[in-house]
Amino acid sequence: MNRVMNLLLPLWSRLSLAAFALVLIVAAGQVAFAQQAAAKPQSASPARAGQPAAQTETAVGEATPTKPGQEGIKVHGHWVIDVRNPDGSLAQHREFENSLVNGGTQVLSQMLAGAVVPGNWAVLLGPSSGNGPCSNTYVPTGGTTSATSEICEVVQSLTTAPALGDCLQNICAAGLTITGPGTVSILLAGTIVSNQTGTIGVVSTELAYCISPASAGAFTTTPAPYTVSPAACVPAATQSSSFTSTALTTVLKPGATPTPNPIPVTAGQTILASVTISFS
């Protein structure tokens, strides 16, 4: 009997240790499960009738994550306008932003479709009311009654569009420069001398373009490709469109971004205008 007991004791000890280990494993598993259950966020219960639904708060200053593909493409126009006296001293300095207008979106979409080729640019400075920085009396084509334009316009050339049509009525100055092609922005810059006392209350950029003859000279939902080069389009362009624009006014819509007041200008002062058009 003693010999049998001696043989069974080691076996019993090993079984006891195995059972003890199994108990530890089960207990550890239960603890881990309990910790996971405690850490897991609880689902909000549906609101009962007559009770407000639970609200999810976002920390102040923390932007709501944007889903991929919903960021959008933006066109920015940053303006700098300096008005200088005849002696070169600075009379006014303003910086502000403008936005893409409907004409600009149409030209961009048609260019991307290959139906429109860009030509020359122009920068226009006019009043929101009253006298502008320039004044010109003219007779509209085919008309008999004179009219007055209050717009100063800086163009790349007086012999190509947009100047061909615009400068029959606006006071124009050549010499608009374009820098920055091939990067994420372009800079339009030029100067013009005011010929009357007034204000600059509206600014805009304008782009001449050539459109495929197959489109019958108009934007279409089925644009036809046009293979003329930009260099060939410059002297051939007969059409133009506003690209970006903004009004300088103290009358704001709720939530609108503030813009400067209209810029006062007196006759004989030089206006230096530049706008950086960028994409992001």
| pLDDT tops 50 at residue 250 | yes
Comparing 143 with 277, which gets the higher pLDDT? Answer: 277
pLDDT at 29: 42
Q: What mean pLDDT do residues 175-196 have?
A: 90
pLDDT at 141: 83
Domain ranges of the chain: 75-279
pLDDT at 222: 72
For the ranges 110-119, 164-173, 212-221, the maximum mean pLDDT occurs at 164-173
User: Per-residue DSSP letters for the chain?
Assistant: -HHHHHHHHHHHHHHHHHHHHHHHHHHHHHHHHHHHHHHSPPPPPPPPTTSPPP-----TTPPPPPPTT-S---EEEEEEEEEE-TTS-EEEEEEEEEEE-HHHHHHHHHHHTTSEEEEEEEEEEE-SSS--S--EEE--TT-SS-EEE--EEEES-TTSTTHHHHTTTSEEEE--EEE-TTSSEEEEEEEEE--SSEEE-EEEEEEEEEE-GGGTTS--SSPPP----HHHHHHH--EEEEEEEEE--S---TTPPP-PPPEEE-TTPEEEEEEEEEE-
Place of tokens 């990067």: 183
| pLDDT tops 60 at residue 267 | yes
Comparing 161 with 212, which gets the higher pLDDT? Answer: 161
Cα 149 to Cα 137: distance, rounded to the nearest angstrom: 6
pLDDT at 44: 39
| pLDDT tops 70 at residue 261 | yes
Cα 153 to Cα 205: distance, rounded to the nearest angstrom: 10
Lowest-confidence pick of 31-40, 75-84, 119-128, 156-165: 31-40
pLDDT at 258: 59
pLDDT at 115: 87
Please report which confidence band the pLDDT of residue 203 belongs to, taking 50, 70 and 90 as the band edges.
Answer: very high
pLDDT at 22: 37
Task: Indicate the average pLDDT of the chain.
Answer: 77
Q: What mean pLDDT do residues 207-220 have?
A: 79
pLDDT at 71: 60
Cα 62 to Cα 86: distance, rounded to the nearest angstrom: 50
Tell me: the pLDDT tens digits for 18-44? 333 433 333 344 434 344 444 444 433
Cα 113 to Cα 129: distance, rounded to the nearest angstrom: 38
pLDDT at 196: 97
| pLDDT tops 90 at residue 204 | yes
pLDDT at 144: 85
Tell me: the pLDDT tens digits for 225-243? 888 898 999 999 989 999 9
pLDDT at 232: 94
Tell me: the pLDDT tens digits for 54-87? 322 222 223 344 555 556 677 878 999 999 999 9
Comparing 14 with 55, which gets the higher pLDDT? Answer: 14
